[in-house]
Chains A and B, each alone.
Chain A
Amino acid sequence: MNRRTGRTWWKTALGLLLTALMLFPVYWMLNVSLTPDRDMRKSPPDLFPAHGTLDGYRTVLDEQLPYLGTSLVIGLGTVVLTVALSAPAGYALAKLRPRGGGILNFVLLAAQMIPGIIMAMGFYAIYLQLGLLQSVPGLIVADSTLAVPFGVLIFTAFMSGIPGELLQAARTDGAGALRTFWSVVLPMSRNAVVTVSLFAFLWSWSDFVFAGTLVNGGAHEPITLGIYHYIGNNNQEWNAIMATAVVASLPAAVILVLAQRYVAAGVTAGAVKD
C-alpha cells in the first residue's frame, strides 16, 4: 500500500503542475495588474509583484465603475428575460407534448449555430430603424439570444425528469396548466433555474460582439467595451487594463467557487458558448 500512496502523490504533483501551467495567464494578469508603471517595460518582467501597487485598481474605481454598473444591469436583465422565455417553453416541450414541438426543438438547435456577427449585423439593421441603438433594453434583448436556446434545452431536459404523477395530482386538485407550472414545476426546477441564470449572466457579462455593434460609443457601455477602449487608445497603462480585466473576471471566479456543480452540469448538457 505504501507504494500506492507514493504513486498517487506523484500524480497530485503532476496535476498541480499542469493546472499551474494552464492558469499561468490568469496569474500573469494578476501580476501585471499590481505592477507599478515604471516596472511595466522592464526586461525581463518581474515574475512577482514585489513592489506591488494598487494604482491600477484605483484607476478602475475612478473610471470603470459606470461600465461595471451597466454590465450588471444588462446581466440581470438578460437573466430575467432568458428564464421568463425558456422555462415555460421547456415545460411545454417536456410535459405537454405539443404537436410541432419537434420542429421547434430543431429550430432552437439551428439557432445556436448562427454566428454572433450575423446576429449583430441583423440587430444593427433593425435597431437602426427602431432607434434602439445605444439602449440598454436593446442590448438585453440581443444578449438574451445567446442563452435562450440553451435555456430551453436545459429546462426541457430537467423537467422531463419530473414525475407525471405529481402533475396529475395537481390537476386532480383542480389546478390549470398555468397553476401547475407556477406552483409545482417551477419550484421543483430550482437547479435548472440556477444553471440557466448563471450561464445567461456570464454570457451577457462577457459579450463583446453585440456590445461593440449595438451600443458602441453610447452612454451605456458594458465593461467589455471599457477594456476594449482602454486597449484601443494605445494606452500604455497595462496595469490599469489588467486590473480592469481582473475585476471583469470576478463574476466568473465567484460562479466557479460557489456554483461549480451547476457549471459542470451546464457544460455537459451540450452547453453552447460563443
Chain B
Amino acid sequence: MKQTIHPPDHPSAHVRNGAAIAAPPPAPARDRRRPASEQWAAWAFLAPVTLYLALFYAYPLYRNLDLSLRDYTVRSFVQGNAPFTGIENYRTVFDDPTFAPALLHTVLFTGVCLLFQYAIGLALAVFFTQHFRLSATLRALFLVPWLLPLIVSASTWSWMLNSDSGIVNAALHALGIGPVNWLTSPSWSLTSVIIANIWIGVPFNLVVLYSGLQSIPASLYEAAALDGANAWQRFWRITFPLLRPVSAITLLLGLIYTLKVFDIIWIMTKGGPADSSTTFATWSYQLGFGNLLPAFGPGAAVGNLLVVAALVFGLIYLKVQRKQALS
C-alpha cells in the first residue's frame, strides 16, 4: 500500500532497527554521496514545510500542553498571567464524574465502529472483486458518504432519526415497532452516532481493502478451485490470511481516525443527553468551548490524553507499515 521513500539503493532502507527511516550517518565517501551544495538545495526546498510544521503543529501542541498545566481563564489570555498548577487540571479531569462514562463511550464508539466498518467494507470489497456489469460505477458511488462534508451527513442523519418525523421511526412503525427516541434518549444516543459514523467509514474500508484484494494473485484461487475448495473456504484460507497486512493498516488507520471523531457526535447530540454520548473528543471541546465559562485547562488536559492515545497507535501503525515495507 505504501512504498518507502527511499530509492532502492539507499543504505538505510534495509536497516531493521527503530531508526530505520532516519537518514544514515555520514558514510565513507562513495560516488553516490551527494555534494554539500546538494544538501543545501534539499533543505532549501524543505525549509517552508519545516517552518510550517514547527509553527502550526509543534507550537499548538506545546500551547496545549502549557494550557493543561496552568490555570487559564479568558482574562489570562489577554493579560498573560496564568499560575502554573502542574497536574492539577489532570487531577480535576480524573476526578470528574464524566471521566468514566467518557472513557467507556470512547472505547465503545471506537470499537463498535471499527468492527462494523471493517466487516461491511470487507464484505463489499469481496463482492466488488467479482466481474459484473456496472461494478466499477457502483463502487465509485460508494465513495459518496466519505466525500460529503460531515455536517451534511450529520444533519441528514439527525433528521432521519428524528423521533416524530424521521423516516427511520416511520419505517419501524410500518414494521409494528414503537417510536425510538434515537437522539433524545440517553439509552439510544450513542447507538445513533455509531450508526452514522459506520455509514461514513465504510467507503474508506471498502476502497483500501478492495485495492488490497487486487494484489492477491488469481492463480491461487484457480488452484484452490481445482482442489475443490468452495467459496467460503477460499475466503477463509486465502483471502483473509493474505489480506492480513492490508487489514492491519486499515484497522490501525481507522482506529486513529475514530478516536478523533468529533464533528458527527457534536452536531448530532452535542455529547448528550446528559453526557450519554460524550467521548473524550466532545468532552474536551465541551470543557474548552461549550460553556459560558470556558475551562481551558481541563479541556486541554482531556485533549492531551487523546493525543497520547493517538500517538501510541500512530507509532504502532508506523511499526507495522515499516515491517511491511521491508518484507
Contact = CB atoms under 8 A, between A and B. Distances in A.
Given A23-B144, A96-B38, A273-B257, A121 B133 contact: no
B319 to A, nearest CB: 12
B59 A126 contact: yes
Interface in B124-178: 124, 127-128, 130-135, 138, 140-153, 155-160, 164-167, 170, 173-174
A48 interface: no
A272 B1 CA distance: 14
Contacts of B164: 41, 43
Contact of B148 (A106, A209, A252, A260): A252
B211 A268 contact: yes
Given A88-B45, A121-B296, A25 B160 contact: yes
A94 to B, nearest CB: 7
B152 A89 contact: no
Interface size class of A (residues with CB under 8 A): 35 or more
A43 B22 contact: no
Nearest to B46: A92
Interface stretch (A58-66, A97-105, A188-196): A97-105
Given A121-B299, A126-B63, A115 B5 contact: no
A78 interface: no
Interface in B57-114: 57, 59-64, 67, 77-78
B228 interface: no
A248 interface: yes
Interface in A226-253: 227-228, 231, 238, 241-242, 245, 248-249, 252-253
Given A12-B132, A88-B45, A115 B262 contact: yes
A93 B147 contact: no
A160 B156 CA distance: 42
A114 B45 CA distance: 25
Contacts of B208: 267-268
A213 interface: yes
Nearest to B166: A45
Interface string B29-70: 000001000110111111011101100110111111001000
Contact of B310 (A98, A113, A122, A160): A113
Given A108-B53, A245-B152, A209 B64 contact: no
B314 interface: yes
A128 B155 CA distance: 30
B153 A252 contact: no
A32 B48 contact: no
Of the listed residues A43, A102, A260, the one surrounded by the most CB atoms of chain B closer than 10 A to its CB is A102
Contacts of B296: 121, 125
B307 A88 contact: no
Contacts of B63: 121-122, 125-126
Interface residues of B, number: 107
A102 B21 contact: yes
Contact of B267 (A25, A41, A208, A253): A208
A141 interface: yes
B42 A101 contact: yes
B130 to A, nearest CB: 6
Given A85-B49, A113-B311, A177-B45, A122 B64 contact: yes
Interface of A: 8-9, 11-12, 14-16, 18-19, 22-23, 25-26, 28-29, 32, 40-45, 84-86, 88-89, 91-94, 96-119, 121-126, 128-129, 141-142, 145, 148, 152, 156-157, 160, 176-177, 181, 202, 205-206, 208-209, 212-213, 223-224, 227-228, 231, 238, 241-242, 245, 248-249, 252-253, 255-256, 260, 263-264, 267-274
Enumerate the 4 nearest inter-chain pairs by beta-carbon distance, A residue then B residue, closest first: A122-B60, A98-B42, A96-B42, A206-B149
21 contacts: A12-B134, A15-B128, A15-B138, A29-B156, A86-B49, A88-B46, A88-B49, A89-B48, A102-B19, A102-B20, A104-B49, A117-B303, A121-B64, A122-B64, A126-B60, A157-B5, A208-B150, A231-B267, A263-B143, A264-B143, A267-B143
